[in-house]
Homo-oligomer: A and B are copies of this chain.
Amino acid sequence: MNNYKSGNNLPNIAIVGVTGLVGRTFLQVLEERNFKFNTLRMFASRRSAGTKVNFKGNDYTVEEATPEIFKDTDIALFSAGSAISKTLAPAARESKCIVIDNSSAWRMNNEVPLVVPEVNKHALKKHNYIIANPNCSTIQFVAALKPLADKYGLNRVICSTYQSISGAGQKGIDKLYNELEGNYFDSKPIAYSLTFHDADGDEGFTNEELKMINETRKILEIQDLPVAVTCVRVPTIGGHCESVNIELSNDFNINDIRDLFANTNGMILMDDIKRDVYATPAIVNGSDYVYVSRIRRDSSTKNGLYLWVSADNVRKGAATNAVQIAEALIDINNLN
């Protein structure tokens, strides 16, 4: 295989938004997974250009992200917000550079695959140089739903989330620590509180809830899947948790459900409530896996099941999933 711009068998990669929380985590994940590349370039806004970022002991100079930077790049990992993605991703496409975009800008575009590799890697076979990384709360949700959908079928899913403040980036984490020290700067404190994301629509749903509903249907390829979601920000630093009630299409044995998750790629079963064994934000923090706990039969409906689904929202919910998409693209040899 030699379809890279480098002319050799390794891709030239770039990170756009490298100075942010997810951008820095891209680097950690690339290093941990020993991701092979020919060249690595680091980009951010003009404000951050010129700063140094260390990767595997070498200093890299952050460059300003502009439409011209993609000519020699094969794969660009984006985490720079929707506005920048909307501008720069088409420029990358023009240069035949694949964008793996962590923003919400392209997720619901019909030409853009929205991918969690364990769930719908096949969607990567057809792309137009832009691939979307799902919302953090969606990634762990569909990871838990997919094996159930395949084995039992899904009739309805109800989810209430417990989302950490790292979902709002480093500025969110700083805000929480400031508030815990008694310094409040806005009317929507995180410390000791429970808050909702912004809402722009008229049906009472927050944007985060609509993302999770729509993205879940797209990834699972069940366009009319009945999904009810309430997304809540809680004062935790890292790690999203989700309380999920599922109505399966077919009956199940609870031990088979445990076995299913224990044997699903990318998932960890952690479930013994009598011994206080379950995933918490602290436990999933730093992990690339999706954890399933609190597996119970929900006898309030036919074929009902409870799950508690947890993952590191910055890693599996963002950076790790994006790198896994890059790995999957290389694996299926579908860079262009």
Contact residues of A with B, CB < 8 Å? 156-158, 160, 162, 180, 187-189, 192-196, 199-200, 202-206, 226-228, 230, 232, 234-237, 241, 243, 245, 271, 273-274, 276, 278, 280-282, 294-301, 304, 306, 308
| Smallest CB gap from A297: residue in B | B203
Contacts of A306 in B (CB 8 A): 204, 228, 230
Q: Once bound together, how far apart are the Cα atoms of A304 and B187, in whole Å?
A: 32
A149 nearest CB across to chain B (Å): 15
Q: Once bound together, how far apart are the Cα atoms of A201 and B188, in whole Å?
A: 39
With A192-B281, A298-B228 already in contact, the answer to whether A204 and B160 are too (CB < 8 A) is no
Contacts of A300 in B (CB 8 A): 156-158, 226-228
With A235-B192, A243-B232, A300-B226 already in contact, the answer to whether A274 and B158 are too (CB < 8 A) is no
A58 nearest CB across to chain B (Å): 34
Contacts of A195 in B (CB 8 A): 280
Contacts of A295 in B (CB 8 A): 204
Q: Once bound together, how far apart are the Cα atoms of A9 and B226, in whole Å?
A: 59
Number of copies: 2
Q: Is the CB of B301 within 8 A of A226?
A: yes
A308 nearest CB across to chain B (Å): 7
A181 nearest CB across to chain B (Å): 10
Q: Is the CB of A278 within 8 A of B160?
A: no
Give 25 CB contacts A-B under 8 Å.
A156-B301, A158-B158, A158-B300, A160-B230, A162-B234, A189-B282, A192-B235, A192-B237, A194-B236, A194-B241, A196-B273, A196-B294, A199-B273, A203-B297, A204-B273, A204-B294, A204-B295, A205-B296, A227-B300, A228-B245, A228-B301, A228-B306, A230-B306, A235-B236, A245-B245
Q: Is the CB of A193 within 8 A of B294?
A: no
A90 nearest CB across to chain B (Å): 31
Contacts of A158 in B (CB 8 A): 158, 245, 300
With A187-B276, A196-B273, A281-B194 already in contact, the answer to whether A235 and B235 are too (CB < 8 A) is yes
